[in-house]
């Protein structure tokens, strides 16, 4: 079984550009989560999605950030007009419907803003 | 707002020694998870603790949960170098409509030969 697949692994953007991060959940998982990890810190929840629905976006910055999980294709985390402070590792996780199962994490996308 | 605190933040220990990492959280929770992260890598699930008094063991690691004290521990027995990593606990707030996890600050474990 393939795990959670994220791409790209590394992404470099200049200030003002857009960043698109992709995540394909594990087979059989219908729940997707995005977390952000700043250097030497723990992960911070951003958003929780199911197919075509945003369930909880309480951790998402109010501006420039958006997420989607379409009926077909991967989940996308989109950051518009990136700034230096957006530099971080962005992790996607997925889980099955059973809440007693842990979330499984992808390898992350390391975003660097020049 | 739920807060999750781990201590110590950094732990240097010799091979063969025992030690415990503590995870305190500030509100009720019915699920607690432990993860391991190697440098530059993703998070690997270690334990899922679902009830008060739950204890789980895997190799040299043992995790426990006391929901009344809002405390989980990760005990390391006879440490070996391969256990060097950052360990995170994560809490799923009780009664929440979503499965979002609140992570602790992490404990960087360095096992010295």
Could you read off the pLDDT tens digit of each residue along chain B, which spans 113 residues?
789 999 999 999 999 999 999 999 998 887 899 999 998 889 999 999 988 888 999 999 999 999 899 999 999 999 999 999 999 999 988 655 578 899 999 999 999 98
- Is A108's CB within 8 Å of B42's CB? yes
Mean predicted confidence (pLDDT) in A2-19: 95
- In the predicted structure, residue A13 carries a pLDDT above the cut 80: yes
Q: What is the pLDDT of residue A5?
A: 96
- In the predicted structure, residue A69 carries a pLDDT above the cut 60: yes
Residue of B74, B71, B91, B81 lying closest to B111 (CA atoms)? B81
Q: CB count, 10 Å around CB of B62?
A: 16
- In the predicted structure, residue A88 carries a pLDDT above the cut 90: yes
- In the predicted structure, residue A18 carries a pLDDT above the cut 60: yes
Q: Residue A101: which pLDDT band, with cuts at 50, 70 and 90?
A: confident
A76 Cβ contact list (under 8 Å, min separation 6): A20, A21, A22, A23, A67, A68, A69, A70
Judging by beta carbons within 10 Å of its beta carbon (0-12, 13-18, 19+), is residue B26 exposed, middle or buried?
A: middle
Model pLDDT for residues A21-63, shown as the tens digit of each residue:
999 999 989 899 999 998 877 899 999 999 889 999 999 999 9
B4 contacts in A (CB within 8 Å)?
Answer: 42
Q: What is the pLDDT of residue B94?
A: 67
CB pairs under 8 A between A and B: 61
Radius of gyration of chain B (CA): 14
Q: What is the pLDDT of residue A9?
A: 96
Q: Residue A91: which pLDDT band, with cuts at 50, 70 and 90?
A: very high
Q: Does A59 touch chain B (CB under 8 A)?
A: yes
Q: What is the pLDDT of residue A50?
A: 92
Interface test with B, best of A7, A37, A42, A112 (most B CBs within 10 A): A42
């Amino acid at each position: 079984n393939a795990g959670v697949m994220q791409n790209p692994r590394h992404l470099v953007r200049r200030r003002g550009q857009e960043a698109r991060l992709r995540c394909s959940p594990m087979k059989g998982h219908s729940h997707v989560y995005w977390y952000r990890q700043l250097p030497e810190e723990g992960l911070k929840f951003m958003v929780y999605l199911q197919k075509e629905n945003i369930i909880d976006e309480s951790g998402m910055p109010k501006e420039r950030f958006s997420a989607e999980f379409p009926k077909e294709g991967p989940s996308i985390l989109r950051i518009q007009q990136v700034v230096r402070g957006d530099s971080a590792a962005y992790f996607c996780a997925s889980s099955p419907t059973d809440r007693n199962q842990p979330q499984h994490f992808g390898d992350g996308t390391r975003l660097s803003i020049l | 707002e739920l807060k999750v605190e781990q201590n110590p933040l950094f732990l240097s220990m010799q091979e063969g020694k025992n030690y415990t990492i503590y995870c305190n959280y500030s509100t009720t929770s019915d699920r607690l998870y432990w993860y391991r992260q190697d440098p530059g890598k993703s998070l690997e699930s270690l334990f899922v603790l679902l009830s008060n008094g739950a204890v789980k063991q895997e190799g040299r690691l043992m995790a426990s949960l006391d929901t009344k004290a809002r405390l989980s521990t990760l005990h390391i027995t006879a440490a070996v170098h391969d256990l060097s990593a950052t360990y995170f606990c994560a809490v799923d707030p009780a009664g929440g409509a979503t499965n979002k996890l609140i992570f602790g600050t992490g404990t960087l474990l360095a096992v010295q030969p």
